[in-house]
Every structure is written in C-alpha cells, then in structure tokens.
Chain A
C-alpha cells in the first residue's frame, strides 16, 4: 500500500455508508499526545525534531500490526506538494501539517480509517475516521491504538492536567471529537443559525469542510468539542451522540420536510438546476462543484432525483479537488485549464448534453 494507490479509491470519510449517512458524512476522533522527556515542537531544534520523528515513526512501524492493518508511512518532509495536498483533501492530514517545515510524517492504515500525524502541533495526533455516525466505534478503535502506542512510548501525562499538550486548549484528554454534517436544507431555509446558536451554547466549534479557518463550502459543517478537560472521553462522546447530533439531524430533517412539502417546486428547481450546471458548464471551480453537488445530493436523498448513485456524487466531490484532479490527469494544470479539465471530467461522469 502506498500513496499513489489512494487516488483511485473513495476513502473512509466519503464511503457514504454508516448510520444516518444521509446527513452525517463522517465521524472523527483525534487524540493529541506528546512523548515525555522531549520538548514540544515549537521549542525544538531541527535535530530534536528529527529525533522525535524517528522515534515515533519507529514505534509506529514496529507495532503496526497492533495499530491497524495495511499501515504505511509517508515522510512529509520529502513528499511533493501535490501529494501533501492530496492527503489534506482526503482528510488524512491537516493543512498546517501539509505546509509545515522540518521532519514530520503521517502513518495511514485501515483503509484510511486511521492516520497518525507525527510532529504536527503535538508529537502525535492519532486520528480515527468512520463514515456515518459511528463515534463509539471510532472511540473503541482509537482507544486501542492509543494503548498500543502507549506500551512503547512514554506519553507526557501529569495530574492534575492529564495528557500534556502543546496548546493548553487540548490538555486533559487531548480528545477532539468531530462530526461532519451535510445540512443543505437548513442553509436553504435560512435556519442554519439555529445550529450555530446551539453549538455555541454547548461550547462546540463549527467549522467548514477542511477544518479550522475554512468555509462551510457545499453545506458541509464540522461540529467539534472544545472542552477537553474535566470530562471523561465517553461523556464527551455521549454528549455528541445523544444530545448534539440528534438535535441537529432533527433540524435538518424538519427543514428537508418543509422544502419537500411546502416548496416542492423551488426544491426541484435547485436540484435540477444544479444537475444542469454540472452537466453543461465548461469551467468549474472546486467550490462550485461542491455547492452544486450539495443540492444534487439533497435531491437524491429526498427521492427527487433518481438514477444517480451516492457513490458517484462522492467520487465527483473528491476527484474535483485540485490535487486529485491533477493526479488523475497526471500533470500540473492551473487557472482556466484546470477549471476546464474539471468541468470536462464532471460532464463525462454525469452524462453531458
């Protein structure tokens, strides 16, 4: 298994399966860990950074079997920009990790459900990703991976603060639980503010498709916890599973029903207009593809549009991203040439006029 094999596959977060997958795209849990006895990364020299990277990499590779199947390691310091970008688009590394400097890497495995970033903001950022709403399953898996790594690495841990992280906002459990939601109806009915308000009151962060500082393109919203201290991991997860997510799903269902029952024509117009654009446009940006796909996806979910598979929509979503598109074309393209190539690809997959 290697990096170049990834391009042709769907990736865990876009599998389009799992509970509540018509609204919940994916569930993600991430744990921040540091090794005791080494500086946090912002105070490391280049050499210290390299020492940590090697130590963590060796620990991961030596215990690959206990972590997950088909584990492979990507040395990001050596990886070309397009490969790093590809990993960002697949939600396997963060943008800052892709663009950083110095020794760093990522271990990927389990059909992309597991990724371990080495030398991101913390020495380790372990991530488990599942399609649909599968937080408990994700926790079970990441907890076991954490145990496996802990048996060979001495993690910085000290009462009263627990797991010690470079940023005090992650201290304690070091856990970040995120759920990616597709909320097109709330956006269309102008009720998305409800979600922001609920999230704010419950101390949750709302972000866009690619995390911190990104726009909610294509009506995708990432909801995640901010409090990491003073709660048991299971509590944080149960808050999500029992309180937060069902409520937002309810809102979206309600908004979808309203559109379906009271604004059928407007709904259909949106859906078929989106399909028309993607089937006809000669220049497309990735943001526009995301936005139109969002409406088509809603149309498919609500039974207004037949004969289009969710699998195809997910493929289009991923392959129209800049790095994926260029990998597929096997060449670097920019500007109008790229937008034109994207439009051509989308037309070819959706059946053009």
Chain B
C-alpha cells in the first residue's frame, strides 16, 4: 500500500473520527511523523483507536521488516542479527532505529564532539576551555573515586560532561 501523501510504502495506518465520520489514513513513516498529534489526545477519538494508533506509530514493526539500505542491501533485521552495519549510509537509513542503541552503548551520548577530519573543513581537534565549575566537579570526582563511591563518581562524570557540552554551545 502506498502512502496517501507520497509514493513511499505506507506503514502507519490511522483511523480518525471526524464529525461522526470514519476517516482512514495510510501514511509512510516520514509523512506520519510530520502529522501532528499522533499518540496525543486530540478530538474525541475512542481510547482503543487512540491506543492502536499510538502502538502502530511507535512500534515501527512494519517499518523494521522492510527497512533496507539501497547502497549495500543490508536490512535492519540482518544488522540486528549480525551486529555489524553494511556501509556508511546505514547510519542515515537506520538513524531512528540506531539512535537508541547508540545512546545505550555510549552513556546517553547522541553526538560526536571529538576530532573532525581536516578535509571536512575543521582544523584539528576542538580545544576546550574548562571553567572553574568544571574544575570543582573534577575535584569532587577525584574525591568520590578516592572514597570508592563509584556511583557518585559516574554521576559527577556525567555532570562534568554536561557542563563541558554547555560551554561549547
């Protein structure tokens, strides 16, 4: 089935009740995500439809089965099985599915902040200035580690990272 708005595969199926009339919508993931109010309480939708819509829009089950990189041919399912991506484009193609995995693997991080290849327009590694606040946190971190309070140390380290991220913004 094709998307009502474009030619992509429709994976999100919505039922809306408007003025006592039942409207069906079939959308692709992109168009659906642009539609406001999916999963939010709007109008007088019956609760079961609301739930169905919500589940459909967020499960991505249909999407995951068909998701494939045109460049290397790998499907999302194949990646889940093997654990290795097939080409650089997969980070774009699977971005939505990959992001939560990446966050989990990298302590919640979503963005690269380190070295950038100079041929991509950057000059070397970005230099960071650490303010007194970060210095203080670093001191606390050292003490927490000294006291073998690693839970606190991990938290402090996150705070330091957060503060550093804010500084560079």
Binding site for B on A (CB under 8 A): 34, 36, 38-40, 42-43, 121, 143, 146-147, 150-151, 154-164, 166-169, 171-173, 175, 194, 197-198, 200-203, 226-235, 239, 242-243, 247
Given A232-B125, A232-B126: A201 in contact with B154 (beta carbons within 8 A): yes
18 pairs from A and B in contact (CB 8 Å cutoff):
A36-B88, A40-B86, A43-B73, A143-B125, A146-B115, A158-B92, A161-B111, A167-B84, A168-B85, A168-B105, A172-B109, A172-B112, A194-B148, A197-B150, A198-B150, A201-B151, A227-B107, A232-B128
B146 to chain A: which residues have CB within 8 Å? 247
CB of B6 closer than 8 Å to a CB of A: no
Asked if A227 and B125 make an inter-chain contact with CB atoms under 8 angstroms apart, the answer reads no
Asked if B150 and A157 make an inter-chain contact with CB atoms under 8 angstroms apart, the answer reads no
CB of B3 closer than 8 Å to a CB of A: no
The 8 A-B pairs of least Cβ separation, nearest first, read A230-B109, A162-B112, A201-B150, A43-B86, A229-B106, A156-B88, A173-B114, A43-B72
Partner of B111, one of A151, A229, A235: A229
CA distance A155 to B148 in the complex (A): 41
CA distance A173 to B82 in the complex (A): 22
- For residue A166, which residue of chain B has the nearest CB? B84
Binding site for A on B (CB under 8 A): 71-74, 82-88, 91-92, 98, 101-102, 105-120, 125-126, 128, 141-142, 145-146, 148, 150-151, 153-154, 157, 161, 164
- For residue A159, which residue of chain B has the nearest CB? B112
CA distance A235 to B128 in the complex (A): 10
Apart from A164-B91, A173-B114, what 7 extra A-B contacts exist at CB < 8 Å?
A151-B118, A157-B116, A166-B84, A168-B85, A229-B112, A230-B112, A232-B115
A197 to chain B: which residues have CB within 8 Å? 150
Asked if B84 and A42 make an inter-chain contact with CB atoms under 8 angstroms apart, the answer reads yes
Asked if A121 and B84 make an inter-chain contact with CB atoms under 8 angstroms apart, the answer reads yes
B151 to chain A: which residues have CB within 8 Å? 201
Asked if A43 and B74 make an inter-chain contact with CB atoms under 8 angstroms apart, the answer reads yes
Asked if A143 and B107 make an inter-chain contact with CB atoms under 8 angstroms apart, the answer reads no
Given A155-B117, A231-B161: A42 in contact with B82 (beta carbons within 8 A): yes
B105 to chain A: which residues have CB within 8 Å? 168-169, 226-227, 229
Partner of B150, one of A162, A168, A202: A202
Write the nearest CB–CB distance from A231 to chain B, whole angstroms.
7
Write the nearest CB–CB distance from A148 to chain B, whole angstroms.
11
CA distance A162 to B115 in the complex (A): 8
Asked if A202 and B154 make an inter-chain contact with CB atoms under 8 angstroms apart, the answer reads yes
Asked if B150 and A160 make an inter-chain contact with CB atoms under 8 angstroms apart, the answer reads no
Asked if B106 and A243 make an inter-chain contact with CB atoms under 8 angstroms apart, the answer reads no
B113 to chain A: which residues have CB within 8 Å? 230-232
Write the nearest CB–CB distance from B126 to chain A, whole angstroms.
7
CA distance A39 to B69 in the complex (A): 11
- For residue A242, which residue of chain B has the nearest CB? B142
CA distance A160 to B145 in the complex (A): 32
Write the nearest CB–CB distance from A343 to chain B, whole angstroms.
42
Partner of B106, one of A38, A147, A172: A172
CA distance A104 to B117 in the complex (A): 25
Write the nearest CB–CB distance from A253 to chain B, whole angstroms.
14
CA distance A38 to B72 in the complex (A): 9
Given A173-B114, A243-B142: A230 in contact with B107 (beta carbons within 8 A): yes
Asked if B111 and A158 make an inter-chain contact with CB atoms under 8 angstroms apart, the answer reads no
- For residue B92, which residue of chain A has the nearest CB? A158
B110 to chain A: which residues have CB within 8 Å? 160, 229-230
A169 to chain B: which residues have CB within 8 Å? 105-106
